[in-house]
Structures are given as structure tokens and as C-alpha cells.
Chains A and B, each alone.
Chain A
Amino acid sequence: MKTFILRRLLFLVFAIFAATLVVFALSRLQGDPRNVMLNVGYVSPEQWEAWGKQFHLDKPVIVQYAIWIGKGFFQGDFGDSLKTGKPVMQMVAGFAPASLQLGLSAVLFVLLTGIPLGILSAVKRGTVWDVFGRTFAVFGQALPPFWLGIMLILVFSVTLDWLPSGTRGHDATNFYERLKYFPMPAVTLGWLASAGLMRLVRSSMLEVLDSEFVKLARAKGVSTNKVIWKHAFRNALIPPLTFAGLILVGFIGGTVVTETVFAWPGLGQMTYTSIINNDFPLMTGAVLVFTLLYVFAIFLIDILYAFIDPRIRYS
């Protein structure tokens, strides 16, 4: 177990290093970042040089990278946004809560639909329930998330006028009113992940239900409910655990789309706007935050998984 954790930790460091390289290369691929700032109007050579000094652009690229890394990782300073002038970290911290709320509500949706539907589909295999569950999964994997969001708005906001859309309802009068802002973004963000989870739970549940120990339990006369919940369910949940990482991957891409559709003031929208605006300090900072988040999550899940299933450690 120790060597396993050590190996994963080594990879973690390597992945972070490689990710910073890619992110930094992205911000420099366009050539001199000063060109981006040029569109504010006429610029004198002195101003140009001053910018060069301010952003360390007069030094070799490797030194620029080292400065960026050094300041970012050891001082938490990824520079200031070109658009707003605020520090990148402050902006990320400001937009993070909205994304976190969205992410959590989507996780809730995924868990409340994916697992029960997967079990139902497996237990009642071949019935209407199974067809319903599988249709749910098939739709989730083929619906373009942004279109799903727009159609939800069309049905529930425009036509039926049940749910509000746009912003996250921070000016709503009471808790219940505020809650109404959540279902549509949560479904938009979560359906794809829920579909994947449902399929995994279903196939894993079917496999366990077919195993010897479940047959033995049934032969002993254990009640169906007890077999499903006590014998099968617990063991069937192990494979879907790895899926947690994939859910997060989907969410990171998905937040950009979902937050754009619902005008949700979160990290995804912030990153997207920074890319559109060529705001390179904010862009590099934000993409890096997403990458770190993901790499750490994968690391934790790997460890957790190896803890649960010892076979992983030695392969």
C-alpha cells in the first residue's frame, strides 16, 4: 500500500508539472501577450517596455515560466486579471462558491437518480422499469447538455413558468424561492453523469445478483429485499466508485456549458470569459485550478479504491 501511494504521489507531482507546462504554453502560443493588450488603443514604445517589465516579458520564456510557477505556487500569486485588475486568486475564490453549489446539487441529482435507477433496472430486468431506466441512460448520453438546458428553460420557464432561470437567485426573497433556481442547472449538468452511473450500477448489480453467494443466500431462504440490499447492493457499489472521478471530469467541462446557458456566475463562466477576452493571467490561473482539482480528486479516488479492493495495489 505504501509503495502504491508513493507511486501515485510521484505521478501526481509529475502530472501537475506537465499540466503547468501545457497551460503556460497555451498562454504563450499566441506570441507576445502584449499584443492582446494592444487593442485598448495606441501604445507608445515606453508603455510597451513597461508592460514587458511588469509581466516579465523581457526575460527568456523559461525564466518567465519559472517566475510564474514560483510566484503562483509559493506565494499564491498568479498575477492580476487584465480585464478587472483584481488578483486571479481573489477572482477564483469569488466565483468558486457558485460553482460548488451547482456541482453539489448536480451530485445530489446524480446519486438520487443513477443508483436507484441502476438497481431497479437490474432487479426488474426485462420489465417496463428496466426499459425506463435504460431509456434514461441512453437519453443522457446522447442529449447535448446545452440544448437540454435550453429546452428545460423553454418548457419550465417560458411555457409553464414554474421555475426561474438566469443567475443563481442570490437576490431571491426566501430559501424556497432560491431553491427553485437549482433543479434545471443540476439536471443539465448531471444527466450525462447520472446515465453513466446508472449503466455501471446496473451491470455491476446484474453481475453480483448472478454470483454464487447471492444464489446461496436465496437458496437459504433469505428474503428478496435482504438479498438485494444486504448481499448484492454493497458489493455492486465497488466498481461505480471509480466513476466518481469521471463524474468530476464531466462536471468540469459541463460547468462551462451549464453556467453559460443559465447565466450562473461560477468558475466555468469565468474561465470561458477569460479565454474569450484573451485575459491570459486569469485563463492560466483558472485552467490550472481546474486541473489541480481534477488531479487531486483522481489521486484520492485511486487511493480509496486501492483501499477497498486490494487487487488494484499489485497490478
Chain B
Amino acid sequence: MNIADLEASNRESTLARTFYVFRRWPLIPILILSILAICAVFAPLVAPYDPEQDQLRAVLASPPWYPPCEEGQLTNKFESCNTNSIPLGRDEEVYYFAIGADQLGRDLLSRIIYGARLSLSLAAIAIAIGTLFGTTVGLVAGYYGGIIDEGIMRVVDVFNAIPYILLAIALVFVLGQHFWVVAFVLALGSWAGIARLVRGQTLQVRNFDYIALATIAGASTTRIMLKHLLPAVANTVVVATTLQVGSTILSESILSFLGAGVPPPTPSWGADISNGREYLGSAWWVAFFPGMAIFLTVLSFNFIGDWLRDRWDPRLRQI
């Protein structure tokens, strides 16, 4: 190896060292999710405009880097131009659409910020219900075994055999398009996988000596499950739950894209993409940015899930 090669490898290692912290901690995903969480919680403070306020003179107004609109161009939806510095609305206020406006002249950025609220709260509720139910069912099946286990696992199998998206769409339409219905339907999609994992884990732990000792010491079934089994499977639950968040957000966006989500005018990423589809040729930003929001959110959750799994539960890696 000559000097040049050595220098090259040296440089590489300093580069690697600089990025070491990024490899050890999922900093970028954490940053993205923090911004998202702030947006979701403080949406009214963060969003520049009311997400449901239409501005008919700014229909499909483009982002600021497009050429400014001429006076007569404003309502012509087939030409892209930005409305910055042009007073709009009754109050002649100047609007600044940072990433453009949608087909009703609503500020896209504000809609994405409020959309984060909807997506994250739906995902949080659905995952909470799904995890609680899945963990309980998995613990019971794994601990009792025998006919109870067999029965529960067959239900899980049958549940897995019905195409989830079709079931979800049908359920939402049958039960009515409402926030809690969508949350329930999303929870329905997340419990089975967690139940299966927890059951598998419980089956192993159940045979450990400390469980037998607890039984001999007279601990009740509830106590054994909550104090002895639950902590043993907690890592698996947390990892599986984190990995599930991404797919739950994806399911939610698919439902609202297909018109089976929380109904308009509530800002929802999936529904906004569906609206933007019709204006692809003239205003690509309407469909592009909400999708980017979904993509980055799911990507971040998946990264954190993978990272947690590698740290806490490497066995799951093989799946």
C-alpha cells in the first residue's frame, strides 16, 4: 500500500467518524418527527393560515419560485404563477403560499401541518388500542396455552385471511365516516401481528423457572401476567409497535385517498393527494407535498423502529 492509499483510507475513516453519531443515533428521523409532533400539537400557532379557508382568487397558486401572476391570470388554473405581493380576498391582504395553494386556493403548507395532526392522532389512538388488545390477547394465549391458545390463534389466522384494505373500506362506509370509526378500523389492522409476536414470546418465557417459582409462591394469574410476563415481553411489544406506526399511517393515507377516511374539509394528507391528482399537468405541488409528508413520516418511524429493534430485540431481525 502506498502513501496515497493510506491517506485515502485515513480520510475515509475521519469521514466515517463524523457520520458515526448519525449511524449510532437516528438523529435525522428524530428531528423530522419532532418537527412533525410540534406541528401536530401546536398546529394553530405554527400554520400560517386557516387550512379550510378557501381563497378563490388564488386557486392552484404556485410556490414563490414561479413567475408572479399578472392581474388576469389569477383564476386561470391552467397556468402556474404565484400570488405573492398581490392582495387577495375581501380584506385585500397579501398572502404568501410557501408551497402553493390547492384547487380551492387553500394554503398547502397549513393543510399539511393540520394533516399531521390528523394522521398522528389517528395513528396514536389506533396503535394504542391495537397494542393494548394485541398484547392482552397474546399474553392470554401464550400463558394459558391449550384450547384457549388454539382458539385465539385461529381467530388471528382467519383475521389475516381477509384482505385488510377491502375490509377497512367496507367497514368505514358501513359504520360511517367518522374520526373514531377510522381509528377503530386502523386498530383492527394492527392488533393481529402484535398478538402473534407476544404469544410466541410468552410461550418461551412461560417455561422459565422464575414463573414457576412465582406460581409456587402463590402469585395470582393476573399478577404473574402483569408483573412477570409483561416486563419480559415489553421490548418486543415496543419494537413491534414502533414498526407498526409507519404502516398504520400508510393505511390511513390509503383510506383517505380512496375517500374512506375522515371526511372533508378536514385536512388529510391522503385526501389532498387525491385532490391534486386532477391537476397534475398544471399544479404538481398539490399532489407532491402531502405525499412527501407521508413518505418522510413513515420513513422516520421505520428508521426508528429498525434502530430500536437492533438495540432491544435483535432476534426479530430475522423476520
Contact residues of A with B, CB < 8 Å?
A: 11, 14-15, 18-19, 22-23, 26, 29-30, 138-139, 141-147, 150-151, 153-154, 158, 203, 249, 252-253, 256-257, 260-261, 271-272, 275-276, 278, 283, 287, 290-291, 294-295, 298
Tell me if A287 and B287 are in contact (CB < 8 A): no
Complexed CA–CA distance, A22 and B158 (Å): 10
| 13 cross-chain CB contacts under 8 A | A14-B154, A14-B158, A144-B254, A146-B273, A147-B294, A150-B276, A150-B277, A151-B287, A252-B165, A252-B166, A278-B173, A283-B170, A290-B166
Given A252-B163, A291-B161: A144 touches B253 (CB 8 Å cut-off): yes
Complexed CA–CA distance, A32 and B13 (Å): 71
Q: Which residue of chain B has the shortest Cβ distance to A284 in the bound complex?
A: B170
Residues of A contacting B280 in the complex (Cβ-Cβ under 8 angstroms)? 150, 153-154, 158
Tell me if A257 and B287 are in contact (CB < 8 A): no
Complexed CA–CA distance, A232 and B260 (Å): 46
Tell me if A271 and B173 are in contact (CB < 8 A): no
CB distance from B163 to the nearest CB of A (A): 4
Contact residues of B with A, CB < 8 Å?
A: 154, 157-158, 160-167, 169-171, 173-175, 246, 250, 253-254, 257-259, 270, 273-274, 276-277, 280-281, 284, 287-288, 290-291, 294-295, 298-299, 302-303, 317-318
Query: Which of A14, A141, A154, A253 is close to B165, meaning CB atoms less than 8 Å apart?
Result: A253
Residues of A contacting B257 in the complex (Cβ-Cβ under 8 angstroms)? 144, 146, 257
Tell me if B287 and A142 are in contact (CB < 8 A): no
Tell me if A291 and B295 are in contact (CB < 8 A): no
Tell me if A141 and B302 are in contact (CB < 8 A): yes
Residues of B contacting A287 in the complex (Cβ-Cβ under 8 angstroms)? 162-163, 166-167, 170
CB distance from B156 to the nearest CB of A (A): 11
Tell me if B273 and A18 are in contact (CB < 8 A): no
Tell me if A150 and B163 are in contact (CB < 8 A): no
Complexed CA–CA distance, A203 and B170 (Å): 37
Tell me if B158 and A150 are in contact (CB < 8 A): no
Query: Which of A22, A26, A147, A278 is close to B287, meaning CB atoms less than 8 Å apart?
Result: A147
Tell me if B287 and A154 are in contact (CB < 8 A): yes
Tell me if A295 and B253 are in contact (CB < 8 A): no
Complexed CA–CA distance, A62 and B173 (Å): 24
Complexed CA–CA distance, A153 and B279 (Å): 12
Given A26-B170, A150-B280, A154-B284: A144 touches B291 (CB 8 Å cut-off): yes
Q: Which residue of chain A has the shortest Cβ distance to B171 in the bound complex?
A: A26
Residues of A contacting B171 in the complex (Cβ-Cβ under 8 angstroms)? 26
Query: Which of B254, B277, B317 is close to A145, meaning CB atoms less than 8 Å apart?
Result: B254
CB distance from A162 to the nearest CB of B (A): 15
Tell me if A272 and B250 are in contact (CB < 8 A): no
Tell me if B246 and A141 are in contact (CB < 8 A): yes
CB distance from B207 to the nearest CB of A (A): 16
Q: Which residue of chain B has the shortest Cβ distance to A207 in the bound complex?
A: B318
CB distance from A207 to the nearest CB of B (A): 8
Tell me if B298 and A144 are in contact (CB < 8 A): yes
Residues of A contacting B281 in the complex (Cβ-Cβ under 8 angstroms)? 158
Residues of B contacting A260 in the complex (Cβ-Cβ under 8 angstroms)? 258
Tell me if B295 and A147 are in contact (CB < 8 A): yes
Tell me if A276 and B162 are in contact (CB < 8 A): no
Residues of B contacting A283 in the complex (Cβ-Cβ under 8 angstroms)? 170
Residues of A contacting B290 in the complex (Cβ-Cβ under 8 angstroms)? 147
Tell me if B295 and A256 are in contact (CB < 8 A): no
Q: Known pairs A146-B274, A158-B281. 8 more at Cβ < 8 A?
A: A11-B154, A19-B161, A144-B250, A147-B287, A147-B290, A153-B280, A253-B254, A271-B166
Residues of A contacting B167 in the complex (Cβ-Cβ under 8 angstroms)? 22, 26, 287
Tell me if B175 and A29 are in contact (CB < 8 A): yes
Given A15-B158, A275-B169: A151 touches B288 (CB 8 Å cut-off): yes
CB distance from A151 to the nearest CB of B (A): 7
Complexed CA–CA distance, A221 and B86 (Å): 75
Complexed CA–CA distance, A275 and B255 (Å): 13
Residues of A contacting B160 in the complex (Cβ-Cβ under 8 angstroms)? 249
Residues of A contacting B302 in the complex (Cβ-Cβ under 8 angstroms)? 138, 141-142
Tell me if B161 and A295 are in contact (CB < 8 A): yes
Query: Which of B162, B169, B298 is close to A142, meaning CB atoms less than 8 Å apart?
Result: B298
Q: Which residue of chain A has the shortest Cβ distance to B164 in the bound complex?
A: A253
Tell me if B291 and A256 are in contact (CB < 8 A): no
Complexed CA–CA distance, A276 and B317 (Å): 40
Residues of B contacting A257 in the complex (Cβ-Cβ under 8 angstroms)? 165, 254, 257-258
Complexed CA–CA distance, A147 and B280 (Å): 12
Residues of A contacting B295 in the complex (Cβ-Cβ under 8 angstroms)? 142-144, 147
9 nearest A-B residue pairs (beta carbon): A147-B291, A253-B165, A142-B299, A142-B298, A18-B158, A252-B163, A29-B174, A144-B294, A290-B163
CB distance from B199 to the nearest CB of A (A): 14
Complexed CA–CA distance, A138 and B301 (Å): 11
Tell me if A144 and B161 are in contact (CB < 8 A): no
CB distance from B264 to the nearest CB of A (A): 15
CB distance from A85 to the nearest CB of B (A): 22
Complexed CA–CA distance, A23 and B284 (Å): 39
Given A15-B158, A29-B174, A276-B259: A291 touches B163 (CB 8 Å cut-off): yes
Complexed CA–CA distance, A195 and B116 (Å): 26
CB distance from A171 to the nearest CB of B (A): 22
Residues of B contacting A294 in the complex (Cβ-Cβ under 8 angstroms)? 161, 163
Residues of A contacting B157 in the complex (Cβ-Cβ under 8 angstroms)? 11, 15
Query: Which of B161, B162, B246, B317 is close to A203, meaning CB atoms less than 8 Å apart?
Result: B317
Given A158-B280, A203-B318, A256-B165: A144 touches B170 (CB 8 Å cut-off): no
Residues of B contacting A158 in the complex (Cβ-Cβ under 8 angstroms)? 280-281, 284
CB distance from A295 to the nearest CB of B (A): 5
